[in-house]
Amino acid sequence: MINIPKGTKDVLPQDSYKWQYVESTAREVAALFNLKEIRTPTFEHTELFQRGVGDTTDIVTKEMYTFKDKGNRSITLKPEGTAGAVRSFIESGLAGGVLPAKMYYITPAFRYERPQAGRLREFHQFGVEIFGAKGAQTDAEAIVMADTLLKKLGLNVKLYINSIGCPTCRAAFNKALKEFFEPNLENLCYDCKARYGKNPLRLLDCKEENCKKINANAPSILDYLCEDCSAHFEELKTCLTLAGVEYEIDPRIVRGLDYYTRSVFEFVSTSIGAQGTVCAGGRYDGLIEELGGNPMPAVGFAAGIERLLIVMEQTGVEIPAPACPTVYIAGMDAECRKKAFSLAIALRAKGVFAEIDHMERSIKAQFKYADKLGAKYVAVIGGNELAEDRANVKCMATGESESVAFADMAAYFLTK
């Protein structure tokens, strides 16, 4: 017996409707906001993520699934969706077309993490990217889109926003951060000691309890924003208020990826603990140029589908159950079963959800099975019915039966 790899999960047939519900709701919302789907490969050249996610991030330093292929190329399974979308946007020439370019994806992502509830090694994201627009109204639109989706899914979440400025304001802030952390350097975790030298902003994103405590008193980026970044953040707040979306400012949100500039945001569920961030995103004006395109602003977010489902489950959100068969056709003997088989095929061809026996069950067991399937009607074919080209159709809810000609069955069930 071979087991499933650690940190991965099966979606079983009886549960897949929940995934489909979240995915189709996400697609609906995306369409309302004029986004089209982009699909990029599951693996890319490793360098794309090294440059696009950033050399100092946990993702690149510790979490990537990287291997040499048989042609000795370094390949990495995508740990997130943005880098691939940006690569494709540039490579396809879309970056030279009509702007903004608004797109979304639903994709698996792979990170070698310590598996916990809501933290997997293969997980799935619904992600959104808007390329080409620099104003805060676009950041607000991305946030409103995420908010619309989360509300449609029945989730109770809190929105936290922050601005991490541009490279100019960040230089001053990084200096202030270094001064603040220096006396505490000894007490920081191993990773934070490295972050201190390479990218002090990352220190604010540490998940170690001790580091979190020290972080609580760190200086706020908001005191270091330049005039333009400050105005951009004000504009974001104005747009969110216009949209009627409530938010709280949390100056400690910096996001795990290196390419963010200005707006960053997280939607956090109030009902689950540690892995409560169901959706996160921000602006990344430096990324497209970093990946070889002409400089172009961009904003986006990604929501973790597993986490959405966990929160929905924990808060008792009802997901519409999949349809049950309209009719189960039961045959009494071998000849009647053959008729049930061909009738089911004819009915399905006309769009009727029909099921039959495949296990050579007795008629009694077939009724039991039909009931288990939730079939609305059972059409019984015995010797007499077969001779008359009719079936005895029983409504499972009322127990009432009537005789229906084979030729009339499609029309009969299409109205049920």
Residues that bind ligand ATP (CB under 6 A): 80, 111, 113, 118-120, 123, 125, 256, 275, 277-280, 302-304, 306-307
Is the CB of residue 331 less than 8 Å from the CB of residue 357?
A: yes
- Rounded CA-CA distance 219/214 in Å is 11
Q: Between 7 and 382, whose beta carbon lies closer to ligand ATP?
A: 7
Q: Between 124 and 232, whose beta carbon lies closer to ligand ATP?
A: 124
For residue 334, the minimal CB distance to ligand ATP (Å) is: 51
Give the chain's end-to-end CA distance (angstroms, integer). Answer: 45
For residue 163, the minimal CB distance to ligand ATP (Å) is: 17
Q: Between 301 and 413, whose beta carbon lies closer to ligand ATP?
A: 301
- Rounded CA-CA distance 74/47 in Å is 8
Q: Computed over its alpha carbons, how large is the radius of gyration of the chain?
A: 28
C-alpha 162: how far from chain center: 22
Q: Between 33 and 112, whose beta carbon lies closer to ligand ATP?
A: 112
**DSSP track, 176-202:** HHHHHHGGGGGGS-HHHHHHHHH-GGG
Is the CB of residue 131 less than 8 Å from the CB of residue 288?
A: yes
Is the CB of residue 119 less than 8 Å from the CB of residue 104?
A: no
Q: Between 115 and 382, whose beta carbon lies closer to ligand ATP?
A: 115
For residue 169, the minimal CB distance to ligand ATP (Å) is: 22
Q: Under 8 Å CB-to-CB from 29, ≥6 apart: which residues?
A: 145, 148, 149, 152
Q: Between 148 and 275, whose beta carbon lies closer to ligand ATP?
A: 275
For residue 212, the minimal CB distance to ligand ATP (Å) is: 12
Question: CA 398, 404, 406: angle at the middle one, nearest 5?
Answer: 135
Tokens matching residue 1: 């017996």
Q: Under 8 Å CB-to-CB from 110, ≥6 apart: which residues?
A: 64, 65, 77, 78, 79, 121, 122
For residue 42, the minimal CB distance to ligand ATP (Å) is: 16
CA quadruple 173, 160, 36, 75: dihedral sign: positive
Could you identify the residue written with the tokens 């992502």?
A: 109
For residue 6, the minimal CB distance to ligand ATP (Å) is: 12
Residue nearest to ligand ATP (CB): 304
Q: Between 304 and 331, whose beta carbon lies closer to ligand ATP?
A: 304
For residue 21, the minimal CB distance to ligand ATP (Å) is: 17
For residue 306, the minimal CB distance to ligand ATP (Å) is: 5
Q: Between 150 and 279, whose beta carbon lies closer to ligand ATP?
A: 279
Could you identify the residue written with the tokens 């990826």?
A: 257
Q: Between 144 and 226, whose beta carbon lies closer to ligand ATP?
A: 144
For residue 152, the minimal CB distance to ligand ATP (Å) is: 17
Question: CA 389, 394, 397: angle at the middle one, nearest 5?
Answer: 160
